[in-house]
Amino acid sequence: MPYSFFKRHPKNLIFRIMLLILAIIPFLFFKEFYKHIYAHFTGSIISIVIVHQWHIVVINIIIFLSFLIPLSYRKKFDWKNYGLVAAFFVSLFIEMYGVPLTIFFLSKSFVGSNVVLPTSFFSFEFLGVTIAMSLAMIYATVLMIIGMVLILIGWVTLYKNIEKEEIVTSGIYSFSRHPQYLGFLFIVIGWLIGWPTLLMIIFAPILVYKYIQVSITEEKEMSGNKKYQEYIKNVPFFI
C-alpha cells in the first residue's frame, strides 16, 4: 500500500490503519476463510444449512431494509438504486434461511466423502434456531456492524445539521465525504464474505459499482459549488 495513502488527510490515519488491519485478517487466517468459502461454493455446508425458517427471513429483510431510510436521507432519492438494494436483501435472506438453491444445486455435484466444513467458533439461539458462526462469518458480521454504524452516524449528522448548513461538513462528514455509502459497501462486502454463494457473486459487484457511481454523480452535481470544491480538497472520498 503506497505511503501517500497514509500521508494524505492525516486525521484519518487511525481509521486507515484499522482498515488495513481488517484487510489483513483474512490472509492471517487463510485456512479458516478458505474452508468457509469452499463449503459454500461446493455445497458441502448443506448438512448444517438452515431451511424454511420464514420468520427469520421476514425479520432480517425488515431490519436491513430499514437501513435504506437513513441511506436515503440525501439530496435525491433514486428509486432504481434502492429497488436494487431491496431485491438484494430479499433474495439474500430467502436463500440464507428459506430455500438455499445455490447450495442445494452445488451439493449434487460436489458433496462426497471428503466433506470440508468450516470450524464453528461461536453459536447462539435466534427465534428457536441455532446459528453457528465460523471465523469468516464473525469477521463478516464485524464488517456489517461497522457499516450500520457508519450509516446511522451519517444520518444523525445530516439530520442535526441539514437546516444549519448548505453543505454538511461536520462530524463524520469531516472524515469522509460519503460515510453512508461507505457503510453500505461494508455491509455488502460483509455479506459477500459471510454468505459466499452464486447469488452474492452476482449481486455484490453490481451494488458496489452502483453506489460508487452514485457518489461520483452526487459530486458532479456539486461541481459548481466553491465551498464543496474546497471541502473535496480537505476530506477524502471514502476514507
Q: Say if residue 75's pLDDT is above 90.
A: no
- Percentage of the chain exceeding pLDDT 90: 23
The pTM (predicted TM-score) of the whole model is 0.85
Q: What average pLDDT does range 193-212 have in this prediction?
A: 88
pLDDT for res 140: 95
pLDDT for res 38: 86
Q: Say if residue 214's pLDDT is above 80.
A: yes
pLDDT single digits (tens) 43-74 = 777 767 777 888 888 998 888 888 777 665 55
For residue 161, CA distances in Å to 1, 3, 31, 156, 239 come to: 35, 34, 46, 9, 21
* Residue 1: Cβ-neighbour burial (10 angstroms; 0-12, 13-18, 19+): exposed
- Give the confidence band of 90 by pLDDT, cuts at 50, 70, 90: confident
